[in-house]
Copies of this chain bind each other. A is one copy, B any other.
Amino acid sequence: MTYSQAVLNGDRLALARLLTQVENNTPEGRAALIELFPHTGKAHLIGVTGAPGTGKSTLVNQLALLYRKAEDRRVAIVAVDPSSPFTGGAVLGDRVRMRDLSGDPDVFIRSMATRGSLGGLAQSTANMVQVFDAAGFDVIIIETVGAGQSEVDIARLAHTTLVVEAPGLGDDIQAIKAGILEIADILVINKADRSGVENTEKALKSMLELAHPTERVFRHHGSIMPAVAPKQDSSTPLMWVPPIQKTISIESKGIVELAEAIARHVTHLRQGGGWAVRERARLEVELEALIREALWNQFHEKVPQEQYESVLEKVVQRSVSPWEAVKELLKGRFK
């Protein structure tokens, strides 16, 4: 039996092995991805990002526990941590998690600790997600550690993106930047028992008002909701103002409300056509990345190494600029 058949049959060991094959980009892994692809497209992908120290991992664990206990949904977690296993960050995280979630065959946690090219990391994450999707996990949570642009880019490809904040992380530490706010479908203030929570909330609210200037917003059950239902026409999807959810994840507080906000977002996406838009956008990003990689591989196969080295040497000697070098190397090569 092939990997993909075993995975489709619910074989957990085969799943674990396939994930490793996929992460290592082996021929078996690639073959299985192609076989599994028709079985994808069913899971709800939730991205979780935010600055270090906001308690993302605990939050993700609590959410997974809730989905298991209250809704009996199968949950996979892909924790993307590009730091080396040297310090054991990702591995330690797994062990802490296993205490809460271990023994449950319908939870699967996988850390992506592989360093290397970022394109590679994004691609590996996408591939892992496809395996979990085909394997029948209903919810796939993609958690990215770190607040770098690339980590954010990975999280934002989900259907629903949570940006996690925490009070008192200092001035310039804030992920409260428009760049991150823009990708948030739901804002979470975790560690909401800490002092400074009012300031964090106030800052987020004023930024939301700046970002959504056409709507009057007011607080409503811990969320920001538009004061008036936004007008709709066939060309614009339903308006969605990111709600602010307060949680204290180590005490399991606010998790039910967070799950409700996530469910509302799913309904919003389904009704407004946003779900299909995001699916398409995500697959287009994946396709583009694969094309770029294939083009580079073709280039490397076809251009003799000596020619490449000799052109590079001219650049190093400053006798040819990199732009002229590219022109020389690619002249008439693409049909």
Shortest distance in angstroms between A263's beta carbon and chain B's nearest beta carbon?
A: 25
CB 8 Å contact bits of A224-245 with B (1 = contact, 0 = none): 0000000000000000000000
- Given A146-B148, A146-B149, A280-B312, 13 other A-B residues pairs in contact with their CB atoms under 8 A: A37-B322, A82-B179, A84-B177, A86-B178, A148-B151, A286-B322, A287-B322, A288-B296, A290-B322, A291-B329, A294-B330, A295-B299, A334-B335
Q: A292-B296, A312-B287 are in contact. Are A82 and B149 (CB under 8 A)?
A: yes
A274 CB-CB contact with B under 8 Å: no
A170 CB-CB contact with B under 8 Å: yes
* Interface set, chain A 175-220, CB cutoff 8 A to B: 176-180, 182, 207, 210
* Partner among B82, B84, B311, B316 whose Cβ is within 8 Å of the Cβ of A279: B316
Q: List 12 A-B contacts (CB under 8 A).
A: A82-B149, A83-B177, A147-B148, A148-B151, A283-B322, A287-B322, A290-B325, A291-B330, A295-B295, A295-B296, A298-B330, A298-B333
Count the copies: 2
Are B150 and A149 interface neighbours, CB within 8 A? yes
A172 CB-CB contact with B under 8 Å: yes
**Complexed CA–CA distance, A334 and B335 (Å):** 6
Q: A83-B177, A321-B34 are in contact. Are A147 and B150 (CB under 8 A)?
A: no
Q: Which residues of B contact A318 (CB under 8 A)?
A: 37-38, 40-41
Are A121 and B147 interface neighbours, CB within 8 A? no
- Interface residues on chain A, number (Cβ under 8 Å): 76
| Chain B CB within 10 Å, residue with most, of A82, A87, A210, A324 | A87
A89 CB-CB contact with B under 8 Å: yes
Interface SS majority for chain A: helix
| Chain B CB within 10 Å, residue with most, of A82, A84, A321, A322 | A322
* Interface set, chain A 51-96, CB cutoff 8 A to B: 51-53, 82-84, 86-87, 89
Q: A51-B52, A294-B330 are in contact. Are A86 and B177 (CB under 8 A)?
A: yes
Q: Which residues of B contact A207 (CB under 8 A)?
A: 87
